[in-house]
Amino acid sequence: VFLENIETFITQLNSINHINLFLTELKEEDTSCTMYPRPEGSPSQTPSVSGQKKVDVVCDALRKAMESMNPNKFYLSILTAYVKKTVPELEVALQKVHELRENPPAAAGAVSAEEALKYLLFLVNVNDLYEHSLGTYDFDLVLMVAEKSQKDPKEYLPFLNMLKSLEPNYQRYTIDKHLKRYRKALVHLSKSGEEHFTEVLQLVKEQKLFSEALKLYTTDSPQYKRLSSAYAEHLVEQQQAEQAGLLLWRCGLPARALQAFTSCSSWRNAICVAQQIPLPTDQLALLARDLAERLTEQRRYSEAALLLDQYAKDCEEAILALITGAVWEEALRLIYMHNRQDITETNLKPALLEAVNSQTGFLEAQVATFTRHRSRLAVVREQKEKARLDMLDEEGPDCPDAELYSEASSVMTASKYSQSNSRISSRSSKNRRKAERKKLSLKEGSPMEDRALMHALSEIISTVDKMREEIHSLLKSLVLFQFDKQAEKLQLVYEEALQTMEGAVPEVWPEALLNSNTPVTGPNSTANSIMASFQQQQQQKPAASQLDPEIPTAPKMKNGVKWKLTILK
Amino acid sequence: VFLENIETFITQLNSINHINLFLTELKEEDTSCTMYPRPEGSPSQTPSVSGQKKVDVVCDALRKAMESMNPNKFYLSILTAYVKKTVPELEVALQKVHELRENPPAAAGAVSAEEALKYLLFLVNVNDLYEHSLGTYDFDLVLMVAEKSQKDPKEYLPFLNMLKSLEPNYQRYTIDKHLKRYRKALVHLSKSGEEHFTEVLQLVKEQKLFSEALKLYTTDSPQYKRLSSAYAEHLVEQQQAEQAGLLLWRCGLPARALQAFTSCSSWRNAICVAQQIPLPTDQLALLARDLAERLTEQRRYSEAALLLDQYAKDCEEAILALITGAVWEEALRLIYMHNRQDITETNLKPALLEAVNSQTGFLEAQVATFTRHRSRLAVVREQKEKARLDMLDEEGPDCPDAELYSEASSVMTASKYSQSNSRISSRSSKNRRKAERKKLSLKEGSPMEDRALMHALSEIISTVDKMREEIHSLLKSLVLFQFDKQAEKLQLVYEEALQTMEGAVPEVWPEALLNSNTPVTGPNSTANSIMASFQQQQQQKPAASQLDPEIPTAPKMKNGVKWKLTILK
């Protein structure tokens, strides 16, 4: 309503002083919220107009109204509206004063440039105004402000004279840099001639304006190349070697790109750039071996094998890498491709038998740990439940020690966790999670032992469940080489492991644990207190959306993945 | 306690008739559960001894006790203990009678074979007994039973004489088959000589005893091969062509294995087996093209490209497949490997530009739909909340129509869903989910519109969130070819999409929706009623572990996957 009636507002105030007072007293604060309590059920927040700040919206609206009504009469108020914006538009205000001095209006009672400048100096710190006048690159304006500013001419005149002597773009760059406007400085410097490119590079490095700088040069220029090179150096320091490599490659620095790609195991790019150089075959082979070694360390055996096979031309090493990585089918493919069936006997079959043994042993160990944790969890829960009931018995239903009760009773509904969570909610969520995890200990009798056990059980389930594809592939290879007995044993052990874990889920994660709110019920509660607490919860809903991430939830098993072989029974 | 005092029990009964009566009246039912209510807090179920059935445990224990006390005296009760097991041990009982006839005991008052057989016939149907006597392969026993059975000798003698004339293993096979004991029949038939192998094959096919049959022959025998072939045929019919291929391959039928592997796109195995045959190069190339086509249809472009490149020796087609599949880096690798940089200009770059356009458009459409659904969800929720409050106002706080109230109030706590769930809990969970999904409609005003909207929002989040790696790879390739502007646009659009979705999660999935229990509070509740309901929930815990799977939960976003390029701003 206010914005629709600006002119009426101005007319009714009918005083430049009052309008100035109104403008200078504007605050971003919404006093309809902060000074008066909000009636219930009203919308929680007035949406601001297109994300703009209230002060800016009001200043602009008033200024535009005054400019259309009588720009001469409201001259000082218009200046105020510029200056009082959240980011003061001092340059525009100064420009207006400058125009006023150049073309004084004929109208009677119009403000003089002198008066206007005095008023500005009253509103704004003189040094700010001087700096901003510099920022307009208009030396007349600078001098006008400087003269009014009580500044010592011996101080500013040499600087201004020096500036005047400079090439226009270099002049603007010098001013921008003086005002710490580095982006603008970069643009002006880049236009000031090739001889200043060293300064460009220095500015870009100091202020990390790499992306901005690249946009100022054509991609085929030598400057673009030098900037890319500097940027790449910076990116490597920032652990972004792959992006560095891309910049170096595209600007025509393949040798350095190769180095960058190699350092971060970006092997496809490394090989491409090496072939573009082009690296001689023997060096390409060495590169491929180097990359393959890095990939093997990262357990990326398939990729390592590709490099060894296709670029190092060493099919034997490639096949061995695949066997090490349990990539059975691909190993066999290379064996047949290179007609190296001898490796089937010497390496593949022994590796398959070793794999079936180690997988079977691993699964048995996992099931044993799982069963132990599960039994222990039942014991811990029973003990906690017993402790809760004992406490209830001792204290009686009207016990005043409600806090103690709630602490104990919460064990079974997991709200203990959300309580401990709220205690440290001021910390960052990362720190909190770290702190939470520290508290989890599987040691018998540790206060959160139940939670630690649930966490451990969840991890075992995930680990075992994730093995479906791996087991399926191993079973197929075992069958192919007539190791049916070993395959049958593994299939049985894995199936039993999955069944044990799936069967335990309802016991380990009973539904109640998913309801993590503090219990609203208890011996002290009345129907009214509970209702109140319930309504409070409803109101808190949006804020309460961050569930304690540390309550281990029931893992979802990938039962859709078919891994069993029907030919094994 | 009973099992520890068996001998006392027998001594105190001191009557064969009473022991027989006790044995014949044994039931598996645990009358301490079914006839008497269980006291609260007692363990819910007595664990059975090592998974055995109660009836069997008691029968065996009594029999052993009687055998050690006085086998002659308790002869008939011992027979009863064999016969009354859950799977009657008729053969053993018959064998005992047979022994009795061969060696009648000298002891006075001992039961005669005649009497024992009569008693058995009183306990067991005569035909069952006759069949089981056959199953011992002991013709003396068979005759003994047959004579007592009132059966017509003209009926059984020819059959017995025919059996007697057969080779021992074939004789046993014939008996096993007659008794429908097919596994035993198979074992005996396999031992009865090679001339019966056709019968073996027929039996295996009819009874689907493939796995069992393979174990009866050495892997290098012609029988093993024929059985594998028959099994493979069966597996192909069962959509298990890959396993069929493995069987055919390992038993030396590579041509048929190739067919099986090809039919199910098991391309690595297909290629290996083809090279083992060995297929001539031109046919291998045709096979590779055929497989590549199948893989392309399944959007497995990388694998298709490998086949085209390495086996069909058509690098151009391989590169085009990779470009179609948006496998940019691998496409570039092949381009450099085969020195086909021309394809970069003709295909790769245009495809990159097309991809950035279509991805940007796709993301914008997803965000638009997301925003529409989100706004609509807010409207629907407000309407439902209003309807709930209206109903409360109308009915007053003491309204007797509690059910109606609870139906309406539950909208915000999602318990409506668990109610609708319990209504159809008797159906299988798969059917239930199907039925639930049918009820979800995005049509305005549909009864579950809010839930349908949550479901749709969740799907959009998953779709967009899953694109991280794809977008990352596209961005890198765009940068490499200097398409920085397009890359910047895509990065911005994708980042905004992710932010929009992440920001909406707390609003769409407020915490209250995760608490899916029926609300225990309400205007009719008292502190006692709430406490009772709370305790009931605690007791139901194990059973209630199946959360309604259809409450769309907040999707977990993969914020750990770094996809943004720092060089794009």
pLDDT band of residue B501 (cuts 50, 70, 90) is: very high
Indicate yes or no: CB of B210 within 8 angstroms of CB of A567: yes
Integer CA distances (angstroms), A524 to A168, A402, A537, B334, B521, in order: 81, 8, 18, 74, 15
Tens digit of each residue's pLDDT (9 = 90 or more) over B248-258: 999 999 999 99
* Partner-chain contact A541 B332, CB within 8 Å: no
What is the tens place of the pLDDT at every residue in A218-273? Answer: 999 999 999 999 999 999 999 999 999 999 999 999 999 999 999 999 999 999 99
CA–CA distance, A511 with B537 (Å, rounded to integer): 9
Name chain B contacts of A337, Cβ cutoff 8 Å.
271, 275, 310
Is residue B476 within 8 Å of A266, Cβ to Cβ? Answer: no
B296-318 residue pLDDT tens? 999 999 999 999 999 999 999 99
Q: Please report which confidence band the pLDDT of residue A523 belongs to, taking 50, 70 and 90 as the band edges.
A: very low
| Cβ <8 Å between A482 and B412 | no
**Model confidence at B546: pLDDT above 70:** no
Per-residue DSSP letter, A463:
H
Residue B206: pLDDT above 70?
A: yes
Of the candidates B214, B517, B545, which has its C-beta nearest A510's C-beta?
B545
B/e letters for B298-333, b = 16+ CB within 10 Å, e = fewer, are eebbebbbbbbbbbbebbbbbbbbbbbbbbbbbbbb
Q: Which of A214, A333, A544 is facing B511, going by the closest CB pair?
A: A544
From CA A56, how far away is CA A81, in angstroms rounded? 9
- CA distance, residue A16 to nearest chain B CA (Å): 45
Query: What tens digit of pLDDT does each residue of B90-101 get?
Result: 888 888 888 888
Contact at 8 Å (CB) between A61 and A3?
Answer: yes
For the segment A360-387, the average pLDDT, to the nearest whole number, is: 94
Predicted confidence (pLDDT) at residue B65 exceeds the cutoff of 80: yes
Residue A423, pLDDT above cutoff 60: no
* pLDDT score for B435: 61
Query: pLDDT of B554-564, one tens digit each?
Result: 888 998 899 99
Asked whether A468 and A561 are in contact (CB, 8 A), the reply is yes
Among A497-506, B36-45, B530-539, top mean pLDDT goes to: A497-506
* pLDDT on residue A128: 86
- Best residue of A209, A333, A413 to probe chain B, by most B CBs closer than 10 Å: A333
Do the Cβ atoms of B100 and B111 come closer than 8 Å?
yes
Of A506, A517, A526, the CB nearest to B542: A506
User: Do A59 and A85 form a contact (C-beta atoms < 8 A)?
Assistant: yes
For A166, phi then psi, to 5°, come to -85, 160
CB B249 within 8 A of CB B243: no
Bigger pLDDT: A46 vs A276: A276
Look at residue B395 in the predicted model and tell me its pLDDT: 62
Pick among A409, A476, A567 to test the B interface (most B CBs inside 10 A): A567
pLDDT of residue B525: 45
3 state DSSP class of A123 = helix
- DSSP-derived secondary structure letter, B522: S
Element containing residue B14 per DSSP (H, E): none
The minimal CB distance from B240 to the residues A510, A547, A566 is found for A566
Q: What is the pLDDT of residue A483?
A: 96
State the smallest CA–CA distance between residue B196 and chain A in angstroms: 24
Mean pLDDT to the nearest integer, A547-564: 77
**Residue A395 pLDDT class (50, 70, 90 cuts):** low
Q: What gap in Å lies between CA A471 and CA A487, rounded to an integer? A: 10
End-to-end, the C-alpha distance of chain A in Å comes to: 81
Which residues have C-beta within 8 Å of that of residue B267, sequence separation ≥ 6? B261, B291, B294, B295, B303, B307
Cβ–Cβ below 8 Å for A247 and B525: no
Distance to chain A for B28, nearest Cα, Å: 25
Minimum Cα–Cα distance from A507: chain B residue: B542
Most confident of A352-361, A394-403, A420-429, B388-397: A352-361
Q: Test A569 with B211 for CB contact under 8 angstroms.
A: yes
Residue A475 confidence (pLDDT) above 50: yes
Tens-place pLDDT, residues B170-198:
999 999 999 999 999 999 999 998 899 99
* B507 to A567: CB separation less than 8 angstroms, yes or no: no
Q: What's the pLDDT score for residue A106?
A: 77
Cβ distance of B243 and A268 shorter than 8 Å: no
Cβ-defined contact of B268 to A530 (cutoff 8 Å): no
Mean pLDDT of chain A: 84
Q: Are B329 and A268 inside 8 Å of each other by CB? A: yes
In this prediction, residue A554 carries a pLDDT of: 80
Residue B559, both tokens:
């914020």
Confidence class for position B125, pLDDT limits 50, 70, 90: confident
Contact A510 B541 (CB under 8 A): yes
Q: Is the pLDDT of residue A284 over 90?
A: yes
pLDDT at residue A540 is higher than 50 = no
Q: What is the pLDDT of residue A420?
A: 35
CA-based nearest residue to B550, from B503, B516, B506, B520: B516
Q: Is the pLDDT of residue B345 over 70?
A: yes
CB B246, CB A480: distance < 8 Å = yes
pLDDT of the residue at B208:
95
Residue A405, pLDDT > 50, answer no
Contacts of B246 in chain A (CB under 8 A): 476, 479-480, 567
Chain B, nearest residue to A536 by Cα = B512
Q: Residue A555 half-sphere exposure, CB side, CA atoms within 13 Å?
A: 21
Instruction: List the alpha helices (DSSP H) in A414-566.
Output: 415-423, 429-439, 449-465, 468-480, 484-508, 527-540
pLDDT in tens, A108-137: 778 888 888 889 888 888 888 888 888 888
Tell me the mean pLDDT in the region A542-560. Answer: 62
Which of A67-76, A375-384, B2-11, B464-473 is modeled with the greatest confidence? B464-473
Q: Name the nearest CA neighbour of B84 among B29, B126, B23.
A: B23
Cβ of B250 within 8 Å of Cβ of A481? The answer is yes
